[in-house]
Amino acid sequence: MPPVAVKPCESTLRLPFETPRLAEIAYRVLSVDKEPRRNFVQKTLNLERDVLVVHFCADQVKNLRTAISSFFEALLLCQDTIKQFGDPTSAEPEAPQQDNAGAQSGSDSA
Amino acid sequence: MVCSLGIEGSANKIGVGIIRDGEVLANVRRTYITPPGEGFLPNATAKHHREVILALVQESLKEAKIKPSDLDVICYTKGPGMAPPLLVGAIVARTLSLLWEKPLLGVNHCIGHIEMGRHITGAQNPIILYVSGGNTQVIAYSNKKYRIFGETIDIAVGNCLDRFARILKLPNDPSPGYNIEQMAKEGTNYINLPYVVKGMDVSFSGILSHIEALADPTKNPNKRKKTLEADASVAKPADLCFSLQETIFAMLVEITERAMAHCGSNEVLIVGGVGCNERLQKMMGIMCEERGGKLFAIDERYCIDNGLMIAHAGAEMFKSGSRMPFEESFVTQRYRTDEVLVTWRDD
């Protein structure tokens, strides 16, 4: 069996958003959760206008990958929420359409 | 007037509820159902929740016929529970809070159950039996805290039922506990099982091992239990379900009755997923009647984990002035009922 390489490693993700506001929302939502203490990964988030910059430092490649993949799960959920519920100002014009569809399915379930 | 949206996702149920001044506007839920014989694992459960949560939020807003701007506060389950599913609810709640510019509140799951039960039944100051797949506690309110009088020292009562259902390969749809309850109705022979009450606490893991050995003696590696095999050949699954329910519910009724005597209370409220078991409600009802007390129980819409209870408990917290800095909107797997300061009760 080849020896498993355990070496410190790091990675930086640069994630652009449509607007600085959306980048800030993602930054604040994703900054809350700390990395689990036992996976030996340090994650730092920074905001550069409309770009979210995430830096990972890990003790080994395996842990780095785990941390990045769980970060992406959270990021995708946050992005999908933004996509579906938008910001209130841009969501208002679409509201009447959605209300119609809602009334239909509402009466179905009633 | 407080209009509150709550997101619950601490176990295999994901739910969204909306409540306005105590009036239920919406309460929608999906359950992650695994094949018979299998439990739900944290990451697979989180994946299920991620796939349905946004549709549930949309559905709840439609059902409630409100716009996001009508909301005053967004609530989510902070804990206790499994971390990956909890995180799904928390991330969506955080994002909505920032998108819609509404305050965010983290709610203790157990407090959600208690407050929902009190709200629906109108019970004023009951002894609370909180029984679910993850928790088993007897609770009484005193001096701004919900105090834990007795609890399980190992697994929860619902966990014991779920795991026994897995041994019998009963379906997890709608829930393993429901299928045990139905099967128990056909049971007639009571099989003796260990009865484990320790002071005000209860224990279920030994009972589970014992009944597992009765249900399937071939799988038991423990040679000392060989004597059980004689019984096992005659033990029908229906009798085992019946005997398991009778034994563990009797234990719960015993500690609840003792808590009533301690506190001089004559009200009992049952909350949590196991609380919709009609046999448990009946046994508790008999005990209450004999003491001249009153039993409050609720149906599966409010008993089983739901978003509404988080919305309601959050609304009570919000009304009494509770606020949470956004940076503190994390989740925590361990979060005891008696850690929460009950700011919304004056008694």
Over chain B, what is the mean pLDDT? 95
Per-residue confidence (pLDDT) for residue A86, from 0 to 100: 85
Per the listing, tokens 């993949």 go with A69
| Residue owning tokens 């809350």 | A32
Confidence of residue B135 (pLDDT cuts 50, 70, 90): very high
Here the ipTM equals: 0.92
Domains present along chain B, CATH in parentheses: 3-114+303-339 (3.30.420.40), 125-299 (3.30.420.40)
Sheet holding A51-58, edge to edge: A9-16, A51-58, A41-48
Beta bridge partners of residue B237, listed in sequence order: none
pLDDT in tens, B281-298: 999 999 999 999 999 999
From the candidates B14, B78, B92, B98, which should be mutated to test the interface with A, based on the most A CB atoms within 10 A? B98
Binned average pLDDT, 10 residues per bin, chain A of 110 residues = 76 96 97 89 96 96 94 97 77 40 35
Q: Give the pLDDT score at B248.
A: 98
CATH number of A9-90: 3.30.310.50
Q: What is the pLDDT of residue A107?
A: 34
Residue B222: per-residue pLDDT: 60
pLDDT mean over B110-126: 97
B131 annotated binding-site participant: yes
Gap between the Cα atoms of B244 and B183, Å rounded: 11
Residues within 8 A of A (CB atoms), B 312-331 only: 326-331
Q: What's the whole-number mean pLDDT along residues B132-137?
A: 97
pLDDT of residue A92: 41
Mutate which of A19, A78, A84 to test chain B, going by most B C-beta atoms within 10 A? A84
Decide if B96 and A78 are in contact by the 8 Å CB cutoff: no
User: Of A97-101, B17-21, B145-149, where does mean pLDDT reach its minimum?
Assistant: A97-101
Residue B177, marked binder: yes
Assess contact for B35 and B53: CB atoms under 8 A. Answer: no
Q: What is the pLDDT of residues B31-65, one digit of tens each?
A: 999 999 999 999 999 999 999 999 999 999 999 99
Strands of the sheet with B294-297, listed across from one edge: B145-151, B136-142, B127-131, B267-271, B294-297
- Name the band, by pLDDT with cuts 50, 70 and 90, for residue B279: very high
Q: Could you give the CA distance from residue B75 to residue B310 in angstroms, rounded to a whole number?
A: 6
Give Cβ neighbours of residue A78 (< 8 Å, ≥ 6 apart). A25, A26, A29, A30, B91, B94, B95
Q: What is the pLDDT of residue B235?
A: 84
- pLDDT of amino acid B298: 96
B187 marked as part of a ligand binding site? no
pLDDT of residue B227: 54
The tens digit of pLDDT for each residue in B187-201 reads 999 999 999 999 999
Tell me the average pLDDT across B228-233. Answer: 52
Which pLDDT belongs to residue B1? 87
Please state the pTM of the whole predicted model: 0.91
Cross-chain CB nearest to A80 (options B54, B87, B331): B54
Share of chain B above pLDDT 90, in %: 94
pLDDT at A96: 39
Q: Which of residues 39-68 of B touch A (CB under 8 A)?
A: 46, 50, 53-54, 57-59, 61-63, 65, 67-68
Closest Cβ–Cβ partner in A29, A30, A77 for B50: A77
DSSP-derived letter for residue B64 is: H
- Please say if the pLDDT value at position B216 is more than 90: no
B147 has a pLDDT exceeding 90: yes
Q: Point out the least confidently predicted range of A79-83, B155-159, B161-165, B212-216.
A: B212-216
Distance, in angstroms, between B307 CA and closest chain A CA? 18
**Domain positions in chain A:** 9-90
Cβ density class A32-58: b for 16+ within 10 Å, e for less: bbebeeebebebeeebeeeebebebbb
- What is the pLDDT, as a whole number, of residue B37? 95
Question: Are the C-beta atoms of B302 and B277 separated by less than 8 Å?
Answer: no
Rounded CA separation B116/B310 (Å): 8
CB atoms A77 and B88 under 8 Å? yes
- B92 — contact with chain A (CB < 8 Å)? yes
For range B117-138, the mean pLDDT: 97
Query: Does A19 contact B at CB distance below 8 Å?
Result: no
Residue B126 has pLDDT above 80, yes or no: yes
